[in-house]
Amino acid sequence: MRIDVLSIFPNMFAPMRESIIGKTVERGLVDFNVVDFRDYTNNRHNNVDDVVYGGGQGMLLTPQPIFDAMDHVKESAGDFGRVILLDPAGKPFNQKMAEELAQEEHLTFIAGHYEGYDERIRTLVTDEISLGDFVLTGGELGAMVVIDATVRLLEDALGDDMSAVDDSFSTGLLEYPQYTRPADFRGMLVPDVLMSGHHGNIAIWRKKESLRRTYLRRPDLLEHYNFTKEERQLLREVVDEEASHDSEN
């Protein structure tokens, strides 16, 4: 996969050279490039923003340097690929979108700053993405989050293909609790079933606890979840157990 990012703060992307993302770059799974679109300005002060027509607060990113930087990307890569604009008005990002983006061969991100974008910049864009109902100082952090969530889904990125499959949201549920040694830490014990060696019972326990965590923390996810018959029974048990626990307290 090739990833290009347009930003006037390229140094902010240093973390992309670390951890899992950095390893995918080292191993050739990802070709990661940051393009400073300030380098493509055609004014003597290298300004990338200007005042708003019609009046208003703040400054807008002008189209010229971004369009020219995109021309550079196309010349270098042969295309733009999927072009993603980080914007508060975009579609909220989720795991399903990350899985979809992970199927692409080329992603280009436009990380803006200041008050916003000249509307003509949106003609370059295939997707507008938001991290949620809040505003950041720029699109760089948003781009890094989307890139991280996407790249870790690439084949061989994690070293264990099942790691991403079991993630929260990938299954539609939150991930079950997990433990490591020691079995007894300050009186907090690892559930016996996990040390039993009985893989069938362990799988049932994990599914039930995944349903429990989702029921307690994100019940909205269950509204559209496609339950199996076994999962519906496990959820009924969870609901009864939690109701009994509440009544005892």
Of 167, 175, 206, 231, which one is the catalytic site residue? 167
Q: Which helix (H) or strand (E) holds 90?
A: strand 82-92
Of 115, 148, 166, 175, which one is the catalytic site residue? 115
Of 36, 50, 88, 166, which one is the catalytic site residue? 88
Asked whether 149 and 100 are in contact (CB, 8 A), the reply is no
Residue 98 Rama label (left phi>0; alpha psi -120 to 50; beta):
alpha
Here the tokens at position 177 are: 């609790």
Please indicate if the annotation marks 131 as binding a ligand. Answer: yes
CA gap 60, 38 in Å, rounded:
14
Please indicate if the annotation marks 133 as binding a ligand. Answer: yes
Please indicate if the annotation marks 54 as binding a ligand. Answer: no
Residue 159, phi then psi, degrees to nearest 5: 85, -15
Give yes or no: 246 in active site.
no
Asked whether 65 and 120 are in contact (CB, 8 A), the reply is no
Q: Is 61 exposed, middle or buried (0-12, 13-18, 19+ CB in 10 A)?
A: buried
Please indicate if the annotation marks 161 as binding a ligand. Answer: no
Give yes or no: 127 in active site.
no
Please indicate if the annotation marks 124 as binding a ligand. Answer: no
Peptide bond into 63 cis (omega under 30): no
Please indicate if the annotation marks 90 as binding a ligand. Answer: no
CA gap 217, 214 in Å, rounded:
5
Give yes or no: 115 in active site.
yes
Of 87, 152, 209, 212, which one is the catalytic site residue? 152
Please indicate if the annotation marks 81 as binding a ligand. Answer: no
Token pair 């579609």: residue: 91
Give yes or no: 88 in active site.
yes
Q: Which of 180, 238, 245 is nearest to 214 (CA)?
A: 238
As annotated, the active-site residues are: 88, 115, 152, 167
Binding-site residues for S-adenosyl-L-methionine sit at: 112, 131-136
Binding-site residues sit at: 112, 131-136
